[in-house]
């Protein structure tokens, strides 16, 4: 994304094309390598699960994610 800067407190909205199938999903931007991908978590610590809508997501879901300086927090 042109002009995007990953800073603590930034909130993004992401529409996912597929169901989440990862036990510990991560999100990366602008071609970052996988080592720089940030975890998606609930409440700063609880791992997001698979395609359960409570903790994971289904195809087409739009999630609000806020970066806390370490992880993406699912709102």
Predicted model pTM: 0.80
Pairing outcome for strands 72-74 and 26-27 = unpaired
Average pLDDT, the chain: 82
Q: Mind listing the pLDDT tens digit for each residue in 27-59?
A: 987 777 777 899 888 876 676 765 555 667 889
Residue 10 is predicted with a pLDDT of 93
Residues in the chain: 75
Domain boundaries, the chain: 11-74
State what percent of residues in the chain have pLDDT above 90: 33
30 or 25, which is more confident: 25
What's the pLDDT score for residue 36? Answer: 84
């Amino acid at each position: 994304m042109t002009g995007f800067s990953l800073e603590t407190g930034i909130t993004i909205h992401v529409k996912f094309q597929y169901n989440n199938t990862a036990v510990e999903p991560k999100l990366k931007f602008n071609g970052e390598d996988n080592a720089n991908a940030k975890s998606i978590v609930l409440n700063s610590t609880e791992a997001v699960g698979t395609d359960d809508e409570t903790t994971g997501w289904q195809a087409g879901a739009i999630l609000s994610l806020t970066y806390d300086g370490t992880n993406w927090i699912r709102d």
